[in-house]
A = this chain, B = another copy of it.
């Protein structure tokens, strides 16, 4: 992009900037009575419907690295990770509000790219962007997203309903987003050491997509409805399977056993983990940002689960007294621990 064509945010002023950024945002849901353009958005309440609210902060230098994250992807991801919180409740996202803080290094064009990603995500997921706050920041970019979702009262799935003998399931495959991050970090270091080197990203589209452009499993909300299946508990996998399993165990007052060999891992993730001398299942257990769903179902629903696409049974629920366990490939039962993303990152570096 030609720097001479970029507009400093200050040049437009508040009115101009808001007009520019919101000009093609339209309202899609009949429940959205009032979107952008006033002090608050107004949402209609009907019958047995429930509105769900969730919020997330994404900060430059902590949650994203602007040197290898296209701003459009960043906007998309910021919205989608919040939609994922709705899927985790068995709800569908309906509205979002967004706060964006920007340091002086960002231009109007950069902000437009970011908004383009947000709008794209809203279009794909049928969500109305109903408000926001844009402000200057002393350092870097700050994104806060709050999403409002909708569900019928008796369809909402909390973290707290798992009970002994339930089956533990996950959607999709895990560890890919983490391997995508490792790859980007490695190529960034190579580039810093020698700016003439071209990044070696070829053949790794899958893990890069998992990291840079994740999707929320709102399709599962519809799939559960179709299968007439209501999970007993559910959470989205943002911090690694181990950490999320412990959340469900704690909220439900039970323990979870995960069978390591059952964890679904994509070929690209597997190969790249080997290249990085990591155990592939560890990237799934402790790597984050896959935004798949971890849920438990009653044993009587075994047949229904078996017939669902893209769902894998990875373990079972026990009494809390058994402790959270990981069954290793050599059939040892060890304690399931949440090392989390940060621990893994330190280890890997």
- A40 sits at the interface (CB 8 A): yes
Q: Is the interface of A mostly helix, strand, loop or mixed?
A: strand
Q: Which of A1-49 contact B (CB under 8 A)?
A: 14-15, 33-34, 37-47, 49
Beta-carbon contact of A146 and B97 below 8 Å: yes
Contact A52 B37 (CB under 8 A): no
* Residues of chain B lying within 8 A (CB to CB) of residue A56: 99, 133
**Residues 48-75 (chain A) with a chain B CB within 8 angstroms:** 49-57, 59-63
Complex Cα distance, B144 from A100, in Å, reads 10
Say yes or no: B50 contacts A42, CB within 8 Å.
yes
Q: Which residue of B lies closest to A61 (CB)?
A: B138
Contact with B along A132-145 (1 / 0, CB 8 A): 11011111101010
Interface segment, one of A81-89, A179-187, A258-266: A81-89
When distances are taken between beta carbons in the complex, the residues of chain B under 8 Å from A137 are 59, 61-62
- Report Cα–Cα, A49/B14, bound state, in Å: 32
A250 part of interface (Cβ distance < 8 Å)? yes
Of A37, A45, A59, chain B has the most CB atoms within 10 Å of the CB of A45
A169 proximal to B (CB < 8 A): no
| Contact of A54 with B39 in the complex, beta carbons under 8 Å | yes
Of B46, B54, B135, B144, the residue contacting A41 (CB under 8 A) is B54
- Which B residues lie within 8 Å of A136 (CB)? 59, 62
Assess the A101–B132 pair: CB atoms within 8 A.
no
A97-B57 CB under 8 A given contacts A45-B45, A62-B136, A62-B137: no
- In the complex, the 6 A-B pairs of residues with the closest C-beta atoms, listed nearest first: A45-B45, A144-B144, A61-B138, A57-B99, A40-B54, A146-B146
Interface residues of A (CB under 8 A from B): 14-15, 33-34, 37-47, 49-57, 59-63, 85-86, 88-89, 91, 95, 97-101, 130-133, 135-140, 142, 144, 146-149, 151, 156, 158-160, 235-236, 250-251, 340
